[in-house]
Amino acid sequence: MSKSLLLLSAALILAGCAPTGVADEPLRTHSQMRPGNTDPTYGLRQMAITDPLRPADEVARDPLRRPDEMLAFIGISSGSVIADIRPEEGYFTRLFARVVGPSGHVYAVVPTRTAEREDALADTLAGAYPNVSRVTTRLETMTFDRPLDVVFTAQEYHDFTMPRFEVDVAAMNRAAFAALKPGGLYVIIDHSGRPGTGATEASTLHRIEGAEVRRQVEAAGFVFDGETNALANPDDDRTINVFDEAIRGRTDQFVYRFRKPG
């Protein structure tokens, strides 16, 4: 090997070992596909999952939250624009920010009902990722400065059906429909309720029946586009509160994808 090639190799090795910044780390979008993998977004997903800005407690939840499967199911890629409704600490927001890259955008949507506590959380996310911005709004009237590819919410939809949250869920779903591009996706993850319970156990068990979510979302004009059982747990009989330590973090969850026609 020539001397110049040796020097180049050494420089590349040192660059790979260099310390990583925090708030000002560049948003990488290069492919990191493993050999033989033909999924063009695989590299982006792995880059997001290994993001050094992710807190250790969030990384520890990955075996249960299945981020690679979730990102693949949602289908975002470099340049996508996504609204993450009520992200709280930002488990998914951080992943989305890395996948969509500097040409995409993530709106951390904070409901006005919970803004006093959650605005600061969203501002922290926006400070760490330059392609994230906070939007505090009533969910029924949420709008954005560009059409969206995806509206997403995880383990929050059932809360919006509770009277104390004061959300008109039908209007919220219509607002999500209006915010999306034709063909855009509305993706909902939530704790499964038993058949026939609808949303009646949202306040007590923090669960909602998947069929009820489908009914409500399809009433806004969406078409059901698929589901994944990646977060299913047949050992959860869906009769106890999701915060009970006997099941917390391991609940049976549905993951639904709806599409705006067009």
Dump the DSSP string for 48-81. Answer: HHT-TTS-HHHHTTHHHH-HHHHHHHHT--TT-E
With respect to residue 175, please indicate whether it lies within any of the assigned structural domains.
yes
Model confidence at 67, pLDDT cuts 50, 70, 90, reads very high
Q: What is the 3-state secondary structure (H, E, C) of 164-175?
A: HHCCCHHHHHHH
Number of domains in the chain: 1
Q: Which domain holds residue 156?
A: 55-259
With respect to residue 8, please indicate whether it lies within any of the assigned structural domains.
no
With respect to residue 17, please indicate whether it lies within any of the assigned structural domains.
no
Contact 233, 250 (CB under 8 A): yes
With respect to residue 213, please indicate whether it lies within any of the assigned structural domains.
yes
With respect to residue 194, please indicate whether it lies within any of the assigned structural domains.
yes
Continuous segment of H or E residues that includes residue 136:
strand 132-137
Model confidence at 86, pLDDT cuts 50, 70, 90, reads very high
If DSSP codes are grouped into helix, strand and coil, which group holds residue 84? strand
With respect to residue 20, please indicate whether it lies within any of the assigned structural domains.
no
Residue 71: Cβ within 10 Å count: 23
Q: What global pTM score does this model have?
A: 0.86
User: What mean pLDDT, rounded, does the chain reach?
Assistant: 89
Q: Which residues make beta-bridge pairs with 19?
A: none
With respect to residue 182, please indicate whether it lies within any of the assigned structural domains.
yes
With respect to residue 144, please indicate whether it lies within any of the assigned structural domains.
yes
Average pLDDT on 246-259 reads: 97
6-65 per-position pLDDT tens digit: 343 444 333 343 333 333 333 333 333 344 456 878 999 999 999 999 999 999 999 999
pLDDT at 37: 58
- CB < 8 Å & 24+ apart, contacts of 22-29: 22/53, 22/128, 23/127, 23/128, 25/52, 25/53, 26/102, 27/97, 27/98, 27/101, 27/102, 27/129, 27/130, 27/131, 28/98, 28/101, 29/78, 29/101, 29/102, 29/103
Tokens of 6: 């040796």
pLDDT at 38: 67
Give the CATH number for residue 125: 3.40.50.150
